[in-house]
């Protein structure tokens, strides 16, 4: 009987820890985020939440072609992708890995993000080599694959 009680306690602790992580209780994510309504300012960190429904800003607004992220030409852009799957979602066990491809085909890839590694950051210089636009998408087959293919980053300014 003690063995069953012990196994239950381990399972309950693991579940509680997983739920705390997925709800952000142990999160160290930076607070600043660029809004779709303004241009990213120098030194501001860009947070993009990733889940099976798509890419979202910190306020929960869906990001995509109709709501692109705007960055100034020549600016160093630091984008942190955050695993944001709900505990009650089948996608909670998914793993995502983001790629950002410029309009000239240049591509950079993030580390994998999932329940136990919730963030990965990519850095680029907006407009470098004449690039005007970037597209971010998940490169791993996952439940949200159809919704994780359309994050647009537009370069503005001269």
CATH number at residue 100: 2.60.40.420
Q: CB under 8 Å to 5, separation ≥6 — which residues?
A: none
Using alpha carbons only, give the angle 145, 143, 141 rounded to the nearest 5 degrees: 55
Q: What is the pLDDT of residues 14-35, one digit of tens each?
A: 444 455 444 443 433 333 333 3
> Does 101 reside within a domain?
yes
Question: In terms of residue numbers, what domain contains 143?
Answer: 30-156
* The total number of structural domains that make up the chain: 1
Distance CA 103, CA 91 (A): 30
Residue spans of the chain under pLDDT 50: 5-17, 20-38
pTM of the model: 0.72
- Does residue 104 form part of some domain? yes
Domain membership of residue 25 (yes or no) is no
pLDDT of residue 89: 77
**What pLDDT score does 126 carry?**
95
Instruction: Please check whether residue 39 lies inside any domain of the structure.
Output: yes
User: Does residue 73 belong to any structural domain of this protein?
Assistant: yes
Q: Is position 20 within any domain?
A: no
Residue 12, pLDDT score: 41
Q: What per-residue confidence (pLDDT) applies to 93? A: 83
């Amino acid at each position: 009987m003690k063995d069953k009680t012990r196994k239950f306690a381990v399972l309950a602790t693991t579940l509680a820890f997983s739920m705390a992580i997925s709800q952000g209780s142990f999160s160290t994510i930076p607070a600043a985020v660029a809004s779709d309504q303004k241009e990213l300012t120098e030194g501001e960190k860009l947070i993009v939440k990733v889940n099976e429904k798509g890419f979202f800003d910190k306020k929960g607004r869906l990001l995509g072609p109709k709501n692109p992220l705007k960055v100034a030409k020549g600016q160093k852009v630091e984008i942190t992708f955050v695993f944001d799957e709900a505990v009650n979602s089948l996608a909670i066990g998914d793993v995502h890995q983001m790629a950002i491809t410029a309009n000239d085909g240049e591509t950079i890839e993030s580390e994998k993000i999932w329940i136990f590694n919730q963030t990965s950051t990519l850095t680029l210089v907006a407009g470098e080599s004449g690039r005007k636009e970037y597209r971010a998408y998940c490169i791993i087959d996952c439940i949200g694959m159809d919704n994780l293919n359309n994050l647009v980053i537009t370069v503005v300014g001269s």
